[in-house]
Structure 1
Amino acid sequence: MPKLTRHHAHWPEGVPHTLDLPEYSLYRHLEASAERAPARIAIDYYGRPISYGGLHRAVLNLAGYLQQCLGVRCGDRVLLLMQNCPQFIIAYYAILRANAVVVAINPMSTVDETAYYLGDCGARVAIVTQDMLAKVRPRLDDGSLTGCIVGAYSDMTYPEGNPDFLQIPDFVAEAGQPPLSDREHEFGNAVAAALAPSPIVVTGSDLAVIAYTSGTTGKPKGAMLSHRALALATAQRSLWLDDKAPSSDLLVLPMCHIAGMSGMNQAIFQGRSIVLLARWDAGAVPALIERFRVGRLGGVAPMLIELLARPEFARHDLSSLKRLYVGATPTPVSIAKELEARLGRVPIECYGMTETCGSTHINPPMDARCGCAGIPQIDVDARIIDPENLTELDCNESGEIVINCPTQFIGYWNKPEATREAFVEIDGKPFVRTGDIGHHDEDGYFHITDRLKRMINASGLKIWPSEVEACLVAHPLVQEACVLAAYDEYRGETAKALIVPVPDAEGTISAEIIIEWARTHLAAYKVPRLIEFVGSLPRTLSGKVLWRALQNEQNENDRERRDAARQ
């Protein structure tokens, strides 16, 4: 079946259908923006601005320090662990400038999870903020980490307490602490050392980022993303979502995740100013939009729902906002319509995955439609296939979405079998299997309707039940566990655990005990919010748990509760 082209009738005016492949380091985008406008504000972090010239100098200095003082060599993996802050952006581009590979992990990761990431990717050096230092210190103590650069958020905030327009969170305002060992290096001192990096030797095909995604069969897998793929994805979105105005971008999505990382890279590529929040703060967002004349804001549906409910939403001038884009979870049509009524802007929904460097489908800004993923963007070939026999399906036929694009990942780090399973060949080309079920309509717009893979989507954060189950059954009072997706009014979905206790556990096991156990072993967003104790789990003749039947039952119960709540 030929490549889908009917969506070209809805293509944004002036946007090309294809782009040349970048054959350079992603770092070059920052270098070019700093050369064009060194005095322009690159980042404003709680009232403290940093120019593009200053950002670029900090990146070069830190890259030199990584190479000369910590022995980082070409291709080395460097762990990056912190909340959103200027140090994240500096470290991200400095690692790339040092010809090394960024491994940015979720700051909600536990000590055990952090140890797994470090061991799996083989990183010898980490860059963290002081609130994350305890998660890597065991690896410093045992010598598997040879060095760690440690920063404090407060070093880059407003120098005289709270600015008059924003309250600085306590964890951001905390003063920097001195290093405790010779393996800990203070971030500011590393930058101030002003050591020059060696020349760039990486090209577009080289590895730039390892982005960990939760695994369907246990431990997370590291998706390998090249400089070429990330640079091209950045250029694609910049062309598609350009608002033609010299305004700021408000970045609230975590930059350790591909969505926030994409927003960061897009702003740097275009030389725009990034207004940065360490964490989502719905009360602060309207004031920031008004003060900095923010033109673009990206988020997920739960953020928009909370924003609409805040009294500040009606008290501030939000007319500068030209692009409001949303992804990860479907946006309720009612919320989209309310945003359009109150802002005069239709939220632009998009769809993608870590393995494709973010979005592959975006709604055209001038023809955005509510409740759908949009159309395949520049250089994207998206098809619908039967997930069983892999035959290609036509318009309005439901099947698995598969994607071929030049931004797709190289494979999973050290997992060749998982890499092979992630692709299917069509017309001689490798297509990434998304695991999402959907269809495209007569106009070429894609609609996501279900999941093929067993995954929970909590506010855009992906939870794989098998990982949570492996944690739960390690508790001495748990015999078996089955984790399901349950409806959550705020997060969209949350994890629910069906627990089979060991014999004679009655009276000693409780939901609180299980939840606390999970909290000590898993990132907070993966911890089951709901616990149900059962006597047994249904199984197939071969002994496999009938999780899909249990999930269908849960879906029906959730549907009945939602219907009852509406009456």
Structure 2
Amino acid sequence: MTKPATPETVPTTVGLPGAIAARAAGQPDAVALVCEGRKTTFDSLYQVSCRVANALLAAGLAPGARIGYLGRDSERLYELLIAAADVGVVLVPVNWRLTGSEIAYILGDSGCRLLFVDAADEGVAEQAVQQLDQRVELVRLDAGGVAGAGFAAWYAPYANQRPDAEGDRQRALLQMYTSGTTGNPKGVVIPQQSLFAVREVRDSSDMPWLEVPPEDRCLVLIPGFHIAGLAWAVQGLLDGVTTVVLPEYTPGAALEAMRTQGVTAVCGVPVMLLLVLAEPGVTPADFAGLRQVAYGGSPMPEQMLALCMSLYGCEFLQFYGMTETATPITFLPPADHTPGNPRLRSAGAPYAGSEIMILDKAGNALPPGEIGEVVVRGPAMMLEYFHNADATADTLIDGWLHTGDAGRLDADGYLYICDRIKDMIIVAGENVYPAEVENALVAHPAVREAAVVGAPDERWGERVHAFVAFHPGQSATPHELLMSLRDKLPSFKLPQQIDILDAVPRNASGKILRRRLREPFWQGRDRAVN
């Protein structure tokens, strides 16, 4: 095995391209990425990213220009990311599950000049481009094709040496679009520095659970068009370990990677981790090599967490953050993942360099135990919402980022997320946060997942309406579910109706699409509150 580069080999002042150059010099034959059996060494990653950077310059792209990536996760995504950092271009990863109109909105809003697209997504890409006034050149990520030159042919004529200037780490590198659970998505502009923030704090603080052994092989289940997936993979590149990339998450593909790729660390959202455990024939032996599971992106109900911890049989680490914070704001370390620990209901505590306040509607700081809006600041924050000064001003206020999450702090500074403020249900003047009711429903042994929304009620203003999906081969009546809640929730939080679904609708990041469930109740009304 090639000896990993030492910390001295990777100066903390360089950007992403400089860090990869140092890894290529110190451990050229070490495997950086594995995808569908293809192994990309640090040397290959460095040389290809240099060619891509020079190709971007030859295409006339100046610093600040936007390029898009519409495709499954692969080594190509990271070659483009490193190249973009080298020349100051901004990469816009696009969710390939979106419709042509949704993709057109992102391309138009960002002003993309180049779009790198998978063969499988070529049709929807052309459909999107035809809706635009601007010219967007398509580069197909595999060889040939009517969309234009294949990716390798596109960059092949250019030198495998870095451009002259090191990119500015404070300059924009990514434009990630929010999941769009309400209205059009916003383009979150993220500086390159944000990808280094947690690592640099880790190296100067006491966070041993974030240390990365040189023999690690990390499997990232979250797709790269989501900041958590891309940022977690980049940490592996910066640390000089191998990252296993799935082109597309399926429970079977994730399980197969854990069984065959020597995976030692996994990063995913709760529903992804749970679905792996539902695969036929799965046993704890499949996870014998795991040392850590990191999870975030949505709450993990306690019973689901207990099941995952039991079967995965390794340490668990929770993180809380959002696209706008680029990297996590809080961590719940493995030491807090003990049976019966009340902190398991929390999202953890802010790490060194990050701060959290809870504010009331007037902007006043609330004491521990009081619920209000969670506002944060830290070393990794968005620069702005692209071309949206009003939304930026509403979100970034005096250096604090207003998350839109409702939560509380305990006396030890641990954060407890109640829900999104805009998802809050008001029943006869009482606040009901859907996540609390959902967690209570999921505690029933038959319930796999649950979603709760507010529906109009002529007497109480709003009422709680629940949707549940069952584990395979299990079921319960709405009355049985309701009876199971009576000793867990006060009467005003109890669902007035429970509907059975095959699955709760979620977006590509695993977040519940409450808007889709809520909208039918409010159609024909002047406003979606009562």
TM-score by length of 2: 0.75
Quick one: which amino acid aligns to residue 113 of structure 1? E
Contact 1:235 1:269 in 2 (8 A): no
Per-residue CA deviation, residues 129-180 of structure 1 (Å, 9 max, x unaligned), is 112222332566677235222113xxxxxxxxxxxxxxxxxxxxxxx5x332
Answer yes or no: is the 8 Å Cα contact 1:99–1:200 preserved in 2: no
**C-alpha spacing 1:336/1:137, structure 2 compared with 1 (3 Å):** same
Partner of 2:387: 414
Higher relative contact order (CA 8 A, sep 6+): 1
Q: Identify the residue that residue 123 of structure 1 maps to in structure 2.
A: 112
Could you report, residue by residue, the CA deviation over 1:270-313 in whole angstroms, capped at 9, with x for unpaired residues?
Answer: 11111111112222333422433211101111112212222343
- Name 2:125's counterpart in structure 1: 136
In the alignment, is residue 63 of structure 1 matched against residue 50 of structure 2?
no
Q: Match of 1:218, as an amino acid?
A: G
**Matched residues in 1 for 2:181 and 2:309: separation?**
37
Aligned twin of 1:16:
none
Helix, strand or coil for the counterpart of 1:450?
strand
1:9-158 equivalences under 5 Å are 24-68=14-58, 70-138=59-127, 144-152=134-142
| Structure 2 Cα separation of the partners of residues 435 and 531 of structure 1 | 18
SS of the residue aligned with 1:203? coil
TM-aligned CA deviation for residue 398 of structure 1 = 1.5
- The DSSP-based 3-state class of the residue aligned with 2:397 is strand
Does the residue aligned with 1:453 lie in a helix, a strand or coil? helix
The residue number in structure 2 matching 1:270 is 239
CA gap of 1:486–1:299, structure 2 versus 1, over 3 A, is farther
Taking the aligned partners of 2:522 and 2:410, their CA distance within structure 1 comes to 45
1:242 aligns with 2:211: yes
Which letter does structure 1 place at the counterpart of 2:150?
E
Q: Match for 2:257 among 280, 288, 299?
A: 288
Letter of the 2:368 partner, please give it. C
Tell me, yes or no, if the aligned pair for 2:274 and 2:308 is still in contact at 8 Å: no
**Equivalent-residue separation in structure 2 for 1:532 and 1:332 (angstroms):** 25
2:364 is equivalent to residue 374 of structure 1: no
Counterpart in 2 of 1:393?
A: 366
Distance 1:489 1:444, change over 3 A: farther
Deviation of 1:490 after TM superposition, in Å, equals 8.0
- Residue equivalent to 1:252: 221
SS of 2:300's equivalent in the other structure is coil
1:211 aligned residue (170, 176, 184): 176
Q: By how many angstroms is 1:263 displaced?
A: 1.3
In structure 2, relative to structure 1, the CA distance for the partners of 1:354 and 1:490 (3 Å cut) is farther
**Structure 2 Cα separation of the partners of residues 400 and 307 of structure 1:** 34
SS at match of 1:32: helix
Deviations 1:327-376 (Å, cap 9, x if unpaired)? 11111211222233233324322111111103111112333342320110
Report if the CA contact (8 A) 2:297-2:511 is conserved: no
Aligned to 2:334: 365
Task: Say yes or no: does 1:384 pair with 2:349.
Answer: no
Q: Specify the code of the residue in structure 2 equivalent to 1:265.
A: V
1:435 alignment partner in structure 2:
404
Residues 537-561 of structure 1: CA distance to partner in whole angstroms, max 9, x if unpaired?
45xxxx5332xx5xxxxxxxxxxxx
The AA in structure 1 aligned to 2:255 is: P
Contact 1:241 1:323 in 2 (8 A): no
* SS of equivalent residue, structure 1 residue 185: coil
Distance, in Å, in 2 between the alignment partners of 1:530 and 1:404 is 33
Distance 1:22 1:243, change over 3 A: closer
Is 1:450 paired with 2:450? no
How many Å apart are 1:421 and its aligned residue? 0.4
Q: Residues 104 and 129 of structure 2 are in contact (CA less than 8 Å); yes or no, is this contact kept in structure 1? A: no
Aligned residues: 439
Give the Cα–Cα distance (whole angstroms) in 2 for the partners of residues 216 and 390 of structure 1: 25
Q: Is the 8 A contact 1:23 1:205 kept in 2?
A: no
1:179 to 2:148 alignment: no
Matching residue within 221, 225, 238 for 2:186: 221
Unaligned residue ranges in structure 2 (runs of 5+): 1-10, 338-342, 425-433, 439-450, 454-461, 472-509
Residue 510 of structure 1: aligned partner? none
Q: CA deviation at 1:40?
A: 0.5
